[in-house]
Amino acid sequence: MSGVSDGTRELLVTTGRADAGCVLVAVRDSGPGFAPKDVEHIFAPFYTTKPAGLGMGLSICRSIIEAHGGRLWANANTPCGAIFQFMVPAYPDDSS
Ligand SMILES: Nc1ncnc2c1ncn2[C@@H]1O[C@H](COP(=O)(O)OP(=O)(O)OP(=O)(O)O)[C@@H](O)[C@H]1O
Ligand SMILES: [Mg+2]
């Protein structure tokens, strides 16, 4: 959101229970968002649109979350910005 000069910058982090014994975390921002066509590119290693970006942040986040048996995905926020959400098992050692 550092590139947003007018209007308020809002970041909302929520947590809750999801289906099947999972925890759901959602991070919503009021930044520039991304084009729908870029929704999977943004998770690719070294994909960046920032002048000094490495393009590693989301790729690392996804691999950590998947290593814990979860998943990470993104959507457009309304009226602007992005929503990143991940689910991870609440009781990863519980095989029942
Ligand atoms: N909250 C967001 N809103 C809009 N676009 C985003 C958001 N987060 C990531 N992106 C897009 O996804 C790209 C990849 O993000 P990622 O975090 O992987 O790398 P980066 O932020 O560019 O660099 P770094 O390696 O420093 O994190 C960004 O360059 C940007 O285009
Ligand atoms: Mg990043």
Share of the chain above pLDDT 70, in %: 97
CA of 55 to the centre of ligand 1 (A): 6
Binding site membership of 45 for ligand 1 (Cβ less than 6 Å): no
Q: Which ligand is nearest to the CA of 2?
A: 1
Distance 7 CA to ligand 1 centre (A): 21
- Which pLDDT score is estimated for 95? 59
pLDDT given for residue 94 in this prediction: 65
Total domains, the chain: 1
Asked if residue 14 is part of any domain, the answer here is no
Quote the tokens at residue 51.
């002048």
Compute the CA torsion angle 78, 82, 39, 87 (nearest 10 deg): -110
The confidence score (pLDDT) of residue 42 equals 97
Ligand 2 centroid from CA 60, angstroms: 10
28 falls within a domain: no
* Under-70 pLDDT residues of the chain: 94-96
CATH for 50: 3.30.565.10
Whether 42 lines ligand 1, by a CB cut-off of 6 Å, is yes
In a domain, 11, yes or no: no
Is position 22 within any domain? no
- Is 77 within the bounds of a domain? yes
Angle at Cα 71 formed by Cα 24 and Cα 61, nearest 5°?
95
Q: Is residue 24 part of a domain?
A: no
Q: Is the omega angle on the peptide bond into residue 32 within 30 degrees of 0, that is, cis?
A: no
Answer whether residue 7 is part of any domain. no
Expressed as residue numbers, the domain containing 63 is 33-89
Ligand nearest to the CA of 51: 1
pLDDT at 6: 80
Owner of token pair 């994909």: 47
- Residue 39 domain flag: yes
**CA 36 to CA 42: how far, in whole Å?**
11
| Backbone phi and psi for residue 6, each to the nearest 5 degrees, phi listed first | -110, 155
Q: Which amino acid is residue 52, in one-letter code?
A: A
Q: Is the CB of 89 under 6 A from ligand 1?
A: no
